[in-house]
Amino acid sequence: MTRNKYVVAFRIGFQSSLEYRFNFFLSLLSAAFPMIVQYYMWTAVYANAGEKDVFGYSYREMIMYTILAAVVSKLVISNIESSIAEDIKSGGLNKYIIQPIYYFGFRISSYIGQRLMYFTISLCIILALTYILNTFYSLKTEEERILIFCLSIILSVILSFLISYAICACAFWLSEISYFFVVTSLLINMMSGGIFPLEIFGERLQQIFRLLPFHYLIYFPVNVLSGKISGHQIWQGIMGQGVWIILLLLICHLVWKRGMKRYLGLGG
Amino acid sequence: MNFVIEMRRHLYILMLFAKNSIISQMEYRANFVTGIFVEAAFLVAKLLYVVVVYKTNIHIDGLTPDTILMFMGTHILLTGIYMGLFFNNFQRLTEYVRTGMLDLMIVKPISLQFLVSVRHIEVGMPIPNIIAGSIMVSIGWSASDIPFTLLNILLFIIFIFIATILTYCIMIIPPLLSFWFVNTSAASEISYSVWDANNMPKLIYNKWIQRIGTFIIPVFIVTNYAPLIVLHKLTKVEMVWGILAPLIFFMLIRMLWKQALKYIAVQTCNFGCLRKGEEESL
């Protein structure tokens, strides 16, 4: 019986994700702390501001954003940089060069396998939180909005993988890379609205961020679900995600092609 | 007398560790500079909270944005102290357990807990936090009209010292868990989240969270007590608890450390017996 090699990579990824499942639940728990800080901080802010909107958000919208963004940021974060960089640095790519398998295909299959269970659980948590928040604040999220959110979050996960994969190619040029990934992931989290909504950065910076793909990772899907983005803006956003996925596929192809020319294959 | 001699000996060794760490870090200057950049990036993320505080002109239980800045500055300053003294060592502790290096370190003629806690002092990474934290405290101090007296400065420094001991006690717990569990990355992630959650004055939280953060996991003492004492907002009960807490929690950590070592000793003994049995059967 012949088995598709990418299906096997997917299955191995899925099995490895089951190994440290308790660790995953604890990492979800860690998302609760920034959520609590921001909840109390925004409550104090709105207690001062009264009924007024702050950064264009009502109190309910801000709380919803804070809670959902914390979980979504855990969901879309890829964490593949160090293992790919290790392959590049220690010559681990050698075996993929001589084997009849595309490294990109292997990585994305393994990544989907690794994230599938966490993705499903996180999605259930997000939907449960949305239901609780809606009940608490007497709001309603339409079924179509939930479906569009699911679509946008799938595109966000793909986008996140491609951004990380493109950044990983820097390991072909840089000697010390581990610190670099810490900085890039932090900056991406900030620019994608994972810490605060992008409105706090002011109009000018926000316009710059809109030209980049990062706001499609957290800011866009969260605001789709909370109802802050509506009408044609939703479809514009989905189109934007699609366009960036295509662009990043192209960027990944080009940078990895150039990077492979520099690859020395030491070790392995 | 014996205590004083031991104290002097350990302080001397601490200075040697610091000197040794500086020399080794100067060897890899690129890493030294990169470390500063990484911490500067984390600092930018923390400063986003300052932006929100000032842009929204938030007032918490009579605390103005300037006073809140002092609390945030204290948090950033303590983050710098933690990064400098303990972060590197706590990261390595997990590795010592995993690779068996701890077994070799036990034989050294010095307290093992002291050795693994302060052996590698980081010089570059704390720089952005210590500079930014000190500036923020100074701005907040001056804008809050706190008298710049010797007593106030002394009290602030004493509570920063108390906060450092408590920081040690709180942040060593996840690496200590690695004696029992292999993968403690999520426990560390939680401790960092708890640490970062401490960047706002405790007064924004409800009473129960304040009690838990003060008496059970004393993170709120770390950031809040130094500014509160100079603002004359620390009650007598809180002041007494602020002095007792580092002693109590340090003793608890010492007990946990001994338990962890006992566990490791039993595991090593079991492994030794197993090996001996295998060799005999061969």
Query: Is residue A266 in a domain?
Result: no
Query: Is residue B139 in a domain?
Result: yes
* Cβ distance of B205 and A40 shorter than 8 Å: yes
Query: Is residue B204 in a domain?
Result: yes
Contact call for residues B261 and B112 (beta carbons, < 8 A): yes
Query: Is residue B239 in a domain?
Result: yes
Task: Please state the length of chain B.
Answer: 282
DSSP string covering A178-235? HHHHHHHHHHHHHHTTSSS-GGGG-HHHHHHHHTSSGGGTTHHHHHHHHTSS-THHHH
Query: Is residue B68 in a domain?
Result: yes
Which residue reads 């770390």 in tokens?
B222
**Range of the structural domain that residue A124 is part of:** 2-260
Nearest-CB residue to B56 (from A27, A54, A175): A54
Say yes or no: B180 contacts chain A, CB-CB below 8 A.
no
Query: Is residue A265 in a domain?
Result: no
* Cβ distance of B48 and A27 shorter than 8 Å: no
All residue ranges of chain B with pLDDT < 70 are: 1, 182-184, 268-282
How far CA B106 is from CA of A86, B102, B111, B112, in Å, comes to 32, 6, 8, 6
* Cβ distance of B56 and A49 shorter than 8 Å: yes
Q: Which residues of A touch B49 (CB under 8 A)?
A: 41
Query: For B140, which DSSP code?
Result: H
Query: Is residue B278 in a domain?
Result: no
Model pLDDT, residue B12:
93
Model pLDDT, residue B104:
85
Query: Is residue A267 in a domain?
Result: no
Q: Is the ipTM of this complex over 0.85?
A: no
Q: Please state, rounded to an integer, the average pLDDT across all residues of chain B.
A: 88
φ/ψ (deg, to 5) at B163: -60, -35
Model pLDDT, residue A1:
46
Model pLDDT, residue A227:
86
Query: Is residue B276 in a domain?
Result: no
Query: Is residue B279 in a domain?
Result: no
> At B230, is the secondary structure helix, strand, or coil?
helix
Residues of chain A whose beta carbon is less than 8 angstroms from a beta carbon of chain B are 20, 22-27, 29-34, 36-37, 40-41, 43-45, 48-49, 54-55, 175-176, 179-180, 182-183, 186-187, 189-190, 195-196, 200
- Tell me the count of A-B CB pairs closer than 8 A: 94
Q: Which residues of B touch A178 (CB under 8 A)?
A: none
**How many domains would you assign to chain B?**
1
Model pLDDT, residue B268:
67
* Cβ distance of B204 and A44 shorter than 8 Å: yes
Contact call for residues A41 and A196 (beta carbons, < 8 A): no
* Cβ distance of B196 and A180 shorter than 8 Å: no
Q: What is the pTM of this model?
A: 0.85
Query: Is residue A143 in a domain?
Result: yes
**Range of the structural domain that residue B10 is part of:** 2-271
Contact call for residues A181 and A85 (beta carbons, < 8 A): yes
Integer Cα distance of B97 and B272 in angstroms: 16
Query: Is residue A268 in a domain?
Result: no
**How many domains would you assign to chain A?**
1
Query: Is residue B181 in a domain?
Result: yes
Residue-level pLDDT, tens digit, chain A, 268 residues? 456 888 888 888 888 777 777 777 777 777 788 888 889 999 999 988 776 888 999 998 899 999 999 889 888 887 788 788 888 877 888 888 888 888 888 888 988 888 888 888 888 988 898 888 888 887 777 888 889 999 999 999 999 999 999 998 888 887 667 778 888 888 999 999 999 999 999 999 999 999 999 999 999 999 999 888 888 899 999 999 999 999 999 999 999 999 888 887 766 5
